A = this chain, B = another copy of it.
Amino acid sequence: MPRLDPSAPALAWETLLDLGDAPLPLRDRLERAVREAVQAGRIPAGAALPPSRSLAETLGVSRWVVTEVYGQLVAEGLLEAAVGSGTRVPATSRPSAFGGPVAPPVRGEFRRPRYDLGPGVPDLRHVPRARWADAVRHALTNLPDGEFAVVDRLGHPLARTAVASYLTRSRRAVAAPDDVVITHGATDAMLAIARGLHRGGHRTLLVEDPSWPRLREVAAGMGLVPVPVTVDGDGVDVDRLADAASRTGARAALITPAHQFPTGAALAPARREAIVRWARSVDAVLVEDDYDAEFRYDRRPVAALQGMAPERTVLIGSLSKSVSPALGLGWAVMPAALRERIRLGEAARPSTLDQAALARFIDSGDLERHLRAARGRFRRRRTELLAAIASELPGLAVTGIAAGMHAVLALPAGVRGSDAAEAAGTLGVAVSALARYRASAASNAPEALVLGYGNLSDALVDEAVAHLAWSIRSLV
């Protein structure tokens, strides 16, 4: 692949950004192409990307596609945007405090934006570093010699036992140690589940519309065509889900009952029962993505749906949203009977040592201590965020706030979410349009912004909202 030559004509971008021909939306293909070009260093640190209009023309795509992609990558810190200087790959070099040789720029420097309203990011200032170090040291000290020789296919017994006990206690899941598979996180779990479903003859997967694109994409990559189902204020519409299933023959659904992503709705009790009834009536598999269910502010967390139908529900969860994705640890609950239906293929599991550390982290009570503290922090931050919005953007509705680490901000009539996200990005506020999580062109996803507050610095809440308000007002 060619590298970026600053002196080459704009046409070179066509060659540099290979959209490929994967069966994915154009937006996703462009996002991947830009990400890979930056990470592989083909677009070097400091380089400017073309204005969205010009790149859209060059590639023959709509400008919306480009602004969406820029917005997302700015939100992730892979790109940066500043007023007057457009969108570029950050120029700063990796901090050398780490020790050892400073890494060369094999990827764009990953820098969190100043006002980080990206969803799904835990509080990076409160990663329990010392507690995790204790857990690893405990595992290293106490694992018998023989355990250093062995890697388990589904997970280490210590980790499977600890996770089963944690999920039973905190998520009211029905989970014996034998039912737990230790994974690297929800994406890793989805990869294995999608592969297993495909092997079992499934070719479609019912997905919520809107929803988190990554898991859908992973499933699509394994050959499961996503079948979008509308979401409303009560969560996924189960009548429509049943219709879509009978129309397409789909017999597996990926759902977020505790806190729908991105709308923030909790699945209404009647719908919880209805979806289980549906699943039983057509012998379907439910994949329950329990991604931030630990954080509920108005009352105790809603129990996992899995407990209502453990024989056909795969519950997936991880430490990625609650602790850090850098630990690479998660789980899937699927009893042996379900594993015969969803045959897990060959895949590397987290290391024995990490799994032993996970077991210790849970068994010592450190995970739940961390979650309690995080819940308190998020609750306070959420209150401040709501107050700031009420003051700076009076009249704009905020929804989806009963749980989790994000809220949904409605926009004034006529303002598009993608424009608002782009405008905010130029002011250093990383935020996503809700529409970017659409699973179909027919999606009813409203023009709104998804405000993640997991990693928003407490001290910057007011400032972030002020900048956000300024950028929204500039569009009205």
Chain A residues at the B interface, C-beta cutoff of 8 Å: 1, 39-41, 77, 94-95, 97-101, 103-107, 110-112, 121-122, 124-125, 127, 129-130, 132-133, 136-138, 140-154, 157-158, 160-162, 165, 177-178, 183-185, 187-188, 191, 218, 221, 324-329, 336, 340, 345-354, 356, 359-360, 362-364, 455
A324 → chain B, closest Cβ, in Å?
A: 4
A172 → chain B, closest Cβ, in Å?
A: 19
A11 → chain B, closest Cβ, in Å?
A: 21
Residue of A144, A188, A336, A349 with highest tally of chain B CB at under 10 A = A144
Q: Find chain B residues with CB under 8 A from A325 CB.
A: 148-151, 352
Q: Could you jot down 6 A-B contacts, CB within 8 Å?
A: A95-B144, A100-B162, A124-B149, A130-B140, A148-B324, A328-B354
A124 → chain B, closest Cβ, in Å?
A: 4
A178 and B41 form a contact (CB under 8 A): yes
B104 and A157 form a contact (CB under 8 A): yes
Residue of B nearest to A120 (CB): B149
Point out the residue from B100, B106, B162, B347 that lies within 8 Å of A191, measured CB to CB. Answer: B347
Task: Answer whether A148 and B326 are a contact pair too, CB < 8 Å, given A188-B348, A347-B191.
Answer: yes
Bound-complex Cα distance A112 to B148 (A) = 10
A346 → chain B, closest Cβ, in Å?
A: 6
Q: Find chain B residues with CB under 8 A from A104 CB.
A: 157, 161, 177-178
Query: How many copies of the chain does the oligomer comprise?
Result: 2
A218 and B144 form a contact (CB under 8 A): no
A142 and B97 form a contact (CB under 8 A): yes
B140 and A133 form a contact (CB under 8 A): yes
A185 → chain B, closest Cβ, in Å?
A: 7
Q: Find chain B residues with CB under 8 A from A39 CB.
A: 152-154
B346 and A327 form a contact (CB under 8 A): no
A205 → chain B, closest Cβ, in Å?
A: 15
Q: Find chain B residues with CB under 8 A from A144 CB.
A: 95, 97-98
Ranked nearest first, the 8 interchain pairs of A and B with the lowest CB-CB distance are: A328-B351, A100-B363, A184-B348, A103-B157, A326-B352, A188-B348, A124-B145, A148-B324
Bound-complex Cα distance A345 to B150 (A) = 26
Residue of B nearest to A218 (CB): B346
Bound-complex Cα distance A138 to B97 (A) = 11
Task: Answer whether A101 and B363 are a contact pair too, CB < 8 Å, given A106-B178, A124-B148, A137-B137.
Answer: yes
Bound-complex Cα distance A150 to B76 (A) = 9
A149 and B129 form a contact (CB under 8 A): no
Bound-complex Cα distance A184 to B41 (A) = 24
Bound-complex Cα distance A391 to B160 (A) = 48
Bound-complex Cα distance A235 to B26 (A) = 50
Q: Find chain B residues with CB under 8 A from A146 CB.
A: 77, 110-112, 124
Task: Answer whether A363 and B157 are a contact pair too, CB < 8 Å, given A146-B77, A148-B127.
Answer: no
Bound-complex Cα distance A191 to B192 (A) = 14
B124 and A133 form a contact (CB under 8 A): no
Point out the residue from B110, B185, B328 that lies within 8 Å of A350, measured CB to CB. Answer: B328
B346 and A103 form a contact (CB under 8 A): no
Residue of B nearest to A41 (CB): B178
Bound-complex Cα distance A467 to B228 (A) = 66
A67 → chain B, closest Cβ, in Å?
A: 23
A330 → chain B, closest Cβ, in Å?
A: 9
B103 and A147 form a contact (CB under 8 A): no
A173 → chain B, closest Cβ, in Å?
A: 17
